[in-house]
A and B are shown apart, each in its own frame.
Chain A
Amino acid sequence: MGKKSDTAKAFPYILPVLIVMILINVYPFVRGILNAFYADKVFGVGRHFCGFDNFKELFQDHIFWLGLKNNVIWTLSCVVVEVILGLFIAMLLNLPYIKFRNVHRTLVLLPWAIPPVVSALIWRYFFGTSGPINIILKGIGFSNPPSWLINPGYSLFACIVANIWVGLPFVTVMLLGGLQSLPGDVYEAAEIDGAGIVKKFFYITLPMMKDLILTVAVLTSIWTFNMFDIVFTMTRGGPGNSSILLSLYAYQNAFGYFQQGYAAAIGIISLIILMIPLIFYIKGRFNYED
């Protein structure tokens, strides 16, 4: 009884925050879902309810499937490389005898401090036909280095490299935090038992870091899947839609093609796909807390 009464008392105090949350989170979310069931016949009858038509057409749209395929390649490549590389860098930074550790940590964090659009512009310059990467390649003997951003075979790869650079600091910092919280006595005991670096890594570090790695991987997957800035700035999804992602295709439909309902349908499909890692994350959190 007393607890209920406290909640009732607290309600007016949290009401302003609740209203703001509903306005900026719940309303756009609900509106976005509703939009998917409307068609925007902008040059005809205007906006009208169309049921599942947007979804039906979407499943027959080859650009949607290409975007989905790219999204899977993009997310898997970025997350796998970021986690492996992030763990490696975090372990290096965690070495007790490393000098100027703070300087290294700051350097690692640097790409995180740069807005993704700026990072994308930097990488667009690097991958330019006459950019530094091709100058280096020519210098080491490649007479005809690829045009990274204008060749459909390389454009997605170039964007993945840029995104790894952007996403790596977060992963590294999170994993470094985890490594620093591991108890030192376990390692000392392992050393006494004669365990080497590899054994310590596979039998102590990895099992103890498992939950954190999973959490980081899930969060990174969600962010990477929804990432828009890098591809938009570097290739705009081209050439030949070779680097199109679902987020970018949704944007194109909403702002370029006058089809907000269609764009919202793409958003909903993305949301459903993202529910999969999210379920893993929530499940992982519960296990972790238990």
Chain B
Amino acid sequence: MTANLPAITGIGSVTPYGPLAGLIPACSLQPSAITAWTTAGLRRAFLVEPFRPASVVPGLKTRRLDRLSAWALVASSLAIQDAGIDLSKVDRSRVAVVFATGFGCVELTESFYQSAAVNGWSGTDPITFPETLANAPAAHVALFHGLRGPNIMVDSKSFAGECALIQAASLIRHGQADLAIVLAGDTLAQAVYGWYEAADLLSPACYNSEPLTEAAGFVPSEGVAALVLEPVGSREGRSYASLRSGRWAAGGQPFKTIRQMLGGSVPNLTISAGNGAPCATSPLTSLAREIAGPDAPIVPPQAVAAGLAETGALLHLILALSSRPQSGQALLLATSGKSGFAAIHLELP
């Protein structure tokens, strides 16, 4: 799998850390109180502070878009900027967009339901409807940047971010795109937060203003992370990491499959992409130790990325890269349920 080996050459993000190009500077982050809708007492989450997209990306018009689409536009622009790519000099019919989301444009979906609640199904808003589609963010990224390659939205239970990364790498590897913008993220809407709450999945830290502790569990988060992928060596410039291979599955034999994928290599670092489910961490640690040895270092999952649930992988990776790990081979690893897993084999420069 060395032909057209994809490398990560640009990073952009809109997360509770703010809109950022490149790596995310280390800082402590605590959940903040939800004010976007009325709550029965204090409710906290990792939230993106409101900002004007056009102040980050001049000329960006996002007035009628779901926040997810707006953030995808900002994050993709920042990633392209970080990669130092001048799109006017690129064959844009060969640029793909692969976007992972679990809930899609849920705010405008809520808004569409609201119009149905008020006016009946016969009185819904025609402008809102197309913007509720889950592929709207990817489509807006293509439209804004003029990208005419494959444009895809994917979701995968527990592993949407990893799935997007693997699918985008596949497009490059098979010559179906020369460059790919991979994005993953979600917004927190009232119905989503309410579902977590009703399902009793929230950490106690969501209900009080105590600092988040490691044992606190699941605090929902929101944001979009973006990566630029292009074949290794296709252009002079920096590479954050190259993607050697990737696998994910709903079950089976994770150890055997990952060992097979690694082909005899032993990663010297495991980056945990544990998601919001409280049980996700310890099976992951066991699997990581089985693969890389009992003393191999593991970058623990960051609560802000874990709160993104199935779309957190890209943010986990960005945060791990931001901690400036030593060069060598790394494994981005996530587990789910009894034997579900996602593993991406990376080469860090």
Say if A and B assemble together: no
